[in-house]
Amino acid sequence: MTQSNKDIDALIEMMAKLPGLGPRSARRAVLHMIKKRSLLMMPLADTLQTVAATARECLNCGNIGTTDICDICESEKRATGEICVVEDVADLWAMERGQVFKGRYHVLGGTLSALDAIGPDELRIPKLLDRVTSEGVTEVILALNATIDGQTTAHYIADQLEARQIAVTSLAQGVPIGGELDYLDDGTISAALKARKAI
């Protein structure tokens, strides 16, 4: 890049490394920020500093927060005896946006994968088994992605929990709300048909 200033060049180069931004959109974003310096750029720089300095994984569940134990694990209201197991923090955020689940989470940090040599100890599975005992959990909800690795991981966890007297459930599979049958894949349609229910 041959802009006029080395700090601005460096900023554009770093912004271009963010997912969803390339060199062109990074330039646009930086110009936009400089034009809205006090309204946008300064608060953004401050918040970015704060988060960069304090962001960490929750020691209990693996969620990202700014404290050793995240707000969800801290909250007594969330001690419902339910743990929702997700692959990634992004999935936890997606579940929270649903605003229905009132229990706690457990972020695995990936899925079991024979190809990538990821076994149970590379994920947070031992910690999950600990929590099931120590937190008096009554139900583990497996909210893993409907991929082969996701489902393998779900089966593995279900096996591990079998001996204990707790419910192990998974998210329902079916037609998404607002989804049109014509555009759905065959697998989803057949899963939705098998799981049909009386109305």
Among 76, 77, 97, 185, binds its own copies (CB under 8 A): 97
Calpha distance 184→191 (Å, rounded) = 11
Sign of the dihedral defined by the CA atoms of residues 14, 16, 19, 25, in that order:
positive
134 lies in the site for its own copies, by CB under 8 A: no
Strand partners, 170: 142
In the region spanning residues 21 to 80, those forming contacts with its own copies, defined by CB under 8 A, are 21, 25, 27-34, 37, 40-52, 54-55, 63-66, 70-72
Q: How far is the CB of 68 from its own copies (least distance, A)?
A: 13
Q: How far is the CB of 99 from its own copies (least distance, A)?
A: 6
| Total residues binding its own copies (CB under 8 A) | 55
Question: Which among 17-25, 127-135, 157-165, 183-191 is the span making contact with its own copies, rule CB under 8 A?
Answer: 17-25
Picking from 191, 169, 171, 166, the residue whose alpha carbon sits closest to that of residue 181 is: 191
Tell me which DSSP letter residue 136 carries.
Answer: T
Helix (H) or strand (E) holding 186: helix 186-194
Which C-beta is closer to its own copies: that of 101 or that of 156?
A: 101
Calpha distance 124→112 (Å, rounded) = 11
Tell me the angle at which helices 6-15 and 23-35 cross, rounded to the nearest 10 degrees. Answer: 120
Please give the residue ranges that form the binding site for its own copies (CB under 8 A): 1-5, 7-8, 10-11, 14-15, 17-21, 25, 27-34, 37, 40-52, 54-55, 63-66, 70-72, 89-90, 92-93, 96-97, 99
